[in-house]
Amino acid sequence: MKLMLNSLVFLALLTIAVPSHAAQEVMPLSLKQCIDLALKNNIDVLLSRARAQQAQGQQIVLDADLLPQIDAVASQQRTWWENIGALGFSGFGVIGPFNTFDARIMVSQRILDFSAIAHAQAGKIKWQASQLEIELASQQVVLATSEAYIQALGYAQELATSYEDVRLADHFLSLSLHQLDAGLASSVDVAGNRTQLAQEEAKQEELRLNVAKAQLELKRLIKVPLSQAIELTDTLENEDLDYLKVDEAIAHAQEDRMEILVAHADSNYSLEELKASKREYLPKIDLTGDVGETAVEPDKDSAHAAEAMIKISLPIWEGNRIAGDVKEKAGLHEEQKIKADDLNWKIEEDVRLSLETLVSTRAQMEAEKKVEDFAQQELNLAQDRFSSGLGDNTQLINAQVVLADAKDKYVQTLALYDQAQLNYFAAIGKPQQFDLSIKKNEGKN
């Protein structure tokens, strides 16, 4: 028996000394760190960079049509029968067999091709547009990541306040039990406090689930392993924003918004493609030439050979191919112009709405803060009355519910206010200026 007891003690000590699993380290994340991770890993940014590489390749190909083309050509030919008489040499018949060797440097250059010039210009514009699309995709990632971060912060802050609500409900339950023992409260009061404590605990669990969902969404956006525990290091801010006036903000937005810059680039690209199609009607001039050596064999009695030719071509009838292409490109250009014009209206709407929302959410936040302060005063008074035995706990529970609701609404409006500031920066084309770690007074930069 003693030996068995000693063995159990040894096994217990061994289990304590060797931990089964190391605790997972928590990754602290600021908003800036999340944005950096998202920009590095987001699929939309990666795809836009790949499309930019494709556009650059297409531009190189189109530019090559305007540059000299140089080829080295060598051939060795064996002819068994050749009818010289058929070539116009009377008195000669079939000759052969014989060998022919030919080696030349061949050069061709487009002297005049207005269509090719327009295509090359269109390729350049398309590449420039692809660079703007990278920036647009990056800004959209910044916006989505910031929104997810703010939402996660809001739920986390609501969860943090819920711990105080649960602690307060538990305190009031203990107080009502003491009052019951002293004959100053009834069983109904105790039951009411127990119900309130259970409701606060249920609400806390709901908030904990919301935090988990919001953090999973954020981790998906920034491509952090979903099993990785994270801690958001920034906090919701209630700093007032020094923002632009309406007309000035609209002017900035129409100059800086990537959407309108991309739309204008697309319109310019479609215009150059339309020009290229129309210029297919114009003549083309090409210069070709070659110089080299000809002989029977590569090492036997070679002789110099050279040719040059200027070719002028003009389409006479091509089955309305050019006319159809012009019509298609004209329709595409008109479509791009309509989109760009509508986007100007949308940008102005975004700016005006963002400024209105800033004013409204700021007022809501300040009002909810006052409600929270008054609810705290009301709860203190109700607690004093109940502790003094001057009434039941109905007022106490009601005041507690009002305070908990006021705290939640203040946090929610605080998150809405930060969201409104983020939307303002996005509306004027500078979402990257939004930062929770500093006071946001950069609206006029």
Task: Note down the domain range covering 360.
Answer: 23-72+114-283+324-433
pLDDT on residue 150: 94
Q: Say yes or no to pLDDT of 74 above 80.
A: yes
CA distance 359 to 243: 11
Per-residue pLDDT at 378 exceeds 90 = no
Q: Is residue 299 part of a domain?
A: no
Residue 144 has pLDDT above 50, yes or no: yes
DSSP notation for 304-368: EEEEEEEEEE--S--TTHHHHHHHHHHHHHHHHHHHHHHHHHHHHHHHHHHHHHHHHHHHHHHHH
Nearest to 288 by CA among 7, 47, 51, 71: 71
What pLDDT digit, counting tens, does each position of 302-346 carry? 788 888 999 999 998 888 899 999 999 999 999 999 998 999 999
What phi and psi, each to the nearest 5 degrees, are found at residue 295? -165, 175
In a domain, 269, yes or no: yes
Phi, psi at 212, each rounded to 5°: -60, -45
Q: Is residue 58 part of a domain?
A: yes
Angle at 364 between CA 363 and CA 367, to 5 degrees: 85
The arithmetic mean of pLDDT across residues 50-77, rounded, is: 90
Query: Is 239 part of a structural domain of the chain?
Result: yes
Could you tell me the CATH number of the domain that includes residue 400? 1.20.1600.10
According to DSSP, the residues that pair with 285 across neighbouring strands are 112, 312
250 in any annotated domain: yes
Residue 240 included in any domain: yes
- Band of residue 384 on the pLDDT scale cut at 50, 70, 90: confident
Query: For residues 186 and 206, what is the distance between their CA atoms, to the nearest angstrom?
Result: 31
With a cut of 90, say whether residue 435 has pLDDT above it: no
Can you say whether the dihedral through the CA atoms of 16, 21, 22, 28 is positive or negative?
A: negative
The residue-averaged pLDDT of 85-105 equals 81
Is pLDDT above 60 for 4?
no
**pLDDT (average), residues 134-146:** 93
pLDDT in tens, 202-242: 988 999 999 999 999 999 999 999 999 999 999 887 877 77
Number of domains forming the structure of the chain: 1
In a domain, 78, yes or no: no
Band of residue 43 on the pLDDT scale cut at 50, 70, 90: confident
Residue 10 is predicted with a pLDDT of 37
Q: Is residue 167 part of a domain?
A: yes
